[in-house]
Structure 1
Amino acid sequence: MRTALLTTLAAVTVTATLLTAPPPAHAAASVHGTGSATGAAAEQVPGMDVSRYQGTVDWQGAWANGARWAYVKATEGTTFQSPTFPEQFQGAGDAGLIRGAYHFARPDLSGATEQATHFVDHGGNWTADGRTLPPALDLEHNPYGPDACYGRGQSDMVSWIREFSDAVKARTGRAPALYTTSDWWTRCTGGDTGFGGTNPLWVARYATSPGTLPAGWSAHTFWQYADSGTFPGDQNWFNGSYDELKAFARG
């Protein structure tokens, strides 16, 4: 989603056929794999995430190439609203993709409740229509300064994330998915295990498997495996079948 994964990219060798070739649309947008908590799922559904950097997205083309879901950046901090969010979110839905909104966390700027309010008020809501993914919180290395953890200690960061999650759930009825890497989670929360039972995990690892998951989760819901490929934006898998994806969206 930004540059947080450069160290991971440098450490792995990407297998091109796995990371760039989604299943054909006629295959119900899911593929069969080996199945494990940290490896390929028994079935996976290809998806994508985009922000203003992708501009106008060819959503019909993404659908034709197999994408069945997408996350779209809506907000950051307490003031930023992505100028492309309305068009991208609407376009994804019009093309048939199950879509959701994400917020880029800025724990250095404000308390979590203020950011959760800004997010929900500007795209981060959820409805049980089977076409809307739960809100998502993007937690990654600080791209604006040298401190990966935004100047917050580990226990303080855990409290910030919990406050954000609780505020979003109170407003929307769904706890947000948490996007992160195992490295960031260990470094900035101390490997906190308290979110695995409440928040879906969207793990980022540019490799041929999700690898060791952040502490607290025994399985991932989403896996971001590359920053380019068949679809615009970042390349992802949903850890399950298309029917399970639709059920997950409904809540």
Structure 2
Amino acid sequence: MKTVTRILAGTVVLSCALSGMAVGAPAHASDAVRATTQRTLDAPARAAGLTTAGGGYPGWAKPTVRRQARDASAPRLVAGAQRGIDVSRYQGNVDWAGWAAKGITWAYTKATEGTYLRNTYFASQYNGAYKQGLIRGAYHFANPASSSAKAQAEYFVANGGGWSADGKTLPGMVDVENNPYGPTCYGLSTTAMVTWISTFAARYKQLTGRDVVIYTNSPWWSLCTGNSTAFRLSNPLWIAAWTTKLTSLPGGWPTFTYWQYTDSPIDQDYFNGSYARLQVLARNHL
């Protein structure tokens, strides 16, 4: 039985779980065992303030940018680029009215991680953004060491990561970056990592009809996927680069859709397009 994520008058409502599975439960018995063994935060994650209750969030490892000379082909923000923020359990009750007053037009909220963690503030954050007129989306923090890509895509959609063609809901995002629980690449080869991401993207699209946004940083993508170009024409890129100017993009992506450029005083981002283009993405495709 397929989980349905419904949006009624701007409010997210979650109903029956996939394959008879209780919402929040691991998809398979083996996933429960792996989730337990892969949930010890390493020293860098603890130093960054992560907790097992909150898990990872975009840019938790503070991605560094190698300084390069900027040339005419370097990626650039278009005129009228829209400012947004991304939030998780760590932000708690967000002052959405205050952020809207500062010119923020969109926001993403963490929904899930692996098949073991749901953001306890998800409903209030996701619906709070909507009530302030922001275009909102949800994201999933991937843990490829803990369970299958298919199971994690299903868990994400079952717990708020779906999509509705209402012009106010952005396609889901999968956050693939540094592992807060151990080996940077989650113990996978570059080939296995590309397969994992491909499987997640395919299952998400099968469930929602949308191409999932991929969030990553260049050093991780190069190390853990071999700088794969497999997603360059299908999945929008959300690049993490805390700098004032981008010099290059990973994976052969010809452009970026989102750019996380700072975490002060909260994770702040650009949508690389006008408000009208943001609405188009919320309705259908770029």
CA separation in 2, counterparts of 1:3 and 1:102? Answer: 14
Q: Counterpart in 1 of 2:241?
A: 205
When the two chains are superposed, the root-mean-square deviation of aligned CA atoms in Å is 1.5
- The 5-angstrom pairing of residues 105-116 of structure 1 reads 105-116=142-153
Q: Secondary structure at the match of 1:43?
A: coil
CA contact (8 A) 2:64 2:241 kept: no
Please tell me the residue identity of whatever aligns with 2:98. Answer: G
Q: Counterpart in 2 of 1:15?
A: none
CA 1:192/1:6 → structure 2, altered by over 3 Å: closer, same or farther? Answer: closer
The one of 212, 219, 228 equivalent to 1:183 is: 219
Q: Secondary structure at the match of 1:100?
A: strand
CA separation in 1, counterparts of 2:255 and 2:86? Answer: 20
Q: Secondary structure at the match of 1:48?
A: strand
| Corresponding position: 1:99 with 2:115 | no
CA separation in 2, counterparts of 1:76 and 1:50? Answer: 14
Q: CA deviation digits over 1:32-88, x for unaligned, max 9?
A: xxx976123233100000000000001011111000000100000012100000100
Q: Counterpart in 1 of 2:187?
A: 151
Q: Counterpart in 2 of 1:248?
A: 281
Q: Secondary structure at the match of 2:153?
A: helix
Larger of the two Rg values belongs to structure = 2
How many pairs align? 223
5+ residue gaps, structure 1, are: 13-34
Q: Counterpart in 1 of 2:62?
A: 5
| Corresponding position: 1:224 with 2:260 | yes
| Corresponding position: 1:129 with 2:136 | no
Q: Counterpart in 1 of 2:98?
A: 61
Q: Identity over aligned residues, as a percent?
A: 50
- The 5-angstrom pairing of residues 34-113 of structure 1 reads 38-113=75-150
Q: Secondary structure at the match of 2:129?
A: helix
CA separation in 1, counterparts of 2:264 and 2:120? Answer: 22
CA separation in 2, counterparts of 1:188 and 1:161? Answer: 11
Q: Secondary structure at the match of 1:210?
A: coil
CA separation in 2, counterparts of 1:202 and 1:180? Answer: 6
CA contact (8 A) 1:223 1:239 kept: yes
CA separation in 2, counterparts of 1:5 and 1:129? Answer: 34
CA contact (8 A) 1:2 1:143 kept: no
CA separation in 1, counterparts of 2:73 and 2:268? Answer: 20
5+ residue gaps, structure 2, are: 1-57
- The structure whose RCO (Cα within 8 Å, separation 6+) is larger is 1
Please state how far the C-alpha of 1:210 moved relative to its aligned partner.
2.8
CA separation in 1, counterparts of 2:188 and 2:102? Answer: 42
